[in-house]
Amino acid sequence: MLNRWLNPRALVSLSILLCLIVMLVTSVLMFAKNHYMPVAMLHTVLGFSLLLFAILHLKNNFSPLKSYLSLKFWGKKSRYKASFPLVLFLGASLIGLSWYGYGPIKRFYQWGMELRVADTFGEAPSYQYIVVDKTDKSLSGQELTIELRTGDSFLWPQYAIWLETMEGELVQPLYVTSKLAKNNFENRVTKLDESTVFKDNPFSTADFKMEDAFNLVVEPESKSERVRPESLPVFLHQLGIRDEEGQFVTHGENLIPDAYTGATMSDNFVYRTKLESELSGRYRLKLEMNQSFDFNQYYSSDRFPSDPIYSGSGFSAQPSVVYETTLNFDNPERLYLMGLAGRGHHSGQDGDIHSDLSGMDSALSIVDRVIVEVH
């Protein structure tokens, strides 16, 4: 009865056509525009739907497809004998050219990136930037320009930018906020009422004042005894320097040269620097950022009561976020867009990048975007 008004073959074919049309539209949008979650979700869902209908299509058309692969089909008398080899050749060519970024394929990809960057600039043409130029002309390496646009949650983060090999070995730091670079945490904050539990960032309220909930004590004489392993755990583990208690720190005035340190830039910034030596091949550029007091419902101030680092005077709240991109110095692209790679450990117990972002919210909007240019 059902087959009288519903043709299974027609249903599958029309479903494949619908999926292809929607995926074509979403592909163009994702190619030329910034990442929009609804478009990406639609593209993903329709992609898996297309896979399902393609399996059904193969089932419905298994016999002719099987004949296309038979030796008889490739015979001298067949008018279709070049079809299968041609498909293999074209498929292998597209995969190879795309993987290695050759010729028109790479230019096509770069054109899409330029469209996305132009789309982003078009959204906020009035933004202003702090420009910090620390290029040392005596160095022989490539020059880098790193442009960071702050997000809605940006207040006073600590951050580090560094370059490492594809195997994860540190090459050199590029910029580290001075408090972390010189272990200059001389301000100690304690709660006025120890029973107070924070489930949001108190400083996000316009009329909130420090003295309403905290005691602030400046102790420059004891700053060398204070460590913040939870601040930027991925970067600190990269440095590999431990104190007597085994915590990863940045002790030592000359550990990170002044050429790569500075104050927290409090707005959108453009940072220019130069590598110590000329590099070839592929390297990974990373940015780690963390902001104290950004508590939320999951990372509340009482989330880990037995963890002395998390529950200490650093008020680490949500863990650090890590962004990264891969630079190819042999064949550099015009622009590189850094993507969110994950988070650090909430109390700095390891230097891993954790992909699980559940429980994170405002920390994910400290950064709006980071674009890198290799000169």
- Least confident range of 134-138, 173-177, 189-193, 272-276: 189-193
Cβ pair 64, 73 in contact under 8 A: no
pLDDT at 321: 97
Q: Which residues neighbour 232 within 8 Å (Cβ) at sequence distance 6 or greater?
A: 158, 159, 160, 180, 288, 289, 290, 320, 344
The first and second tokens of residue 264, run together, are 């927290």
Per-residue pLDDT band for 54 (boundaries 50, 70, 90) equals confident
pLDDT at 353: 96
**CA–CA–CA angle 62, 65, 70 (5° rounding):** 120
- Helix or strand or coil: residue 44? helix
Q: What is the mean pLDDT of residues 60-73?
A: 64
- Helix or strand or coil: residue 192? coil
The first and second tokens of residue 69, run together, are 């692969």
pLDDT at 246: 47
- In angstroms, the Cα distances linking 47 to 11, 41, 52 are 17, 10, 9
Q: Which residues neighbour 213 within 8 Å (Cβ) at sequence distance 6 or greater?
A: 191, 192, 193, 196, 202
Question: What average pLDDT is seen over the chain?
Answer: 81
Residue type, 329: F
Q: pLDDT (tens digit, 9 = 90+) per residue, 158-190? A: 999 999 999 999 999 999 998 887 777 777 788
Per-residue pLDDT band for 3 (boundaries 50, 70, 90) equals low
Cβ pair 185, 224 in contact under 8 A: no
Name 325's bridge partners.
285
Q: Which residues neighbour 233 within 8 Å (Cβ) at sequence distance 6 or greater?
A: 248, 319, 320, 344, 345, 348, 349, 350, 351
Q: What is the pTM of this model?
A: 0.66
* Separation of alpha carbons 102 and 330, rounded Å: 13
The first and second tokens of residue 136, run together, are 């040392």
pLDDT at 248: 47
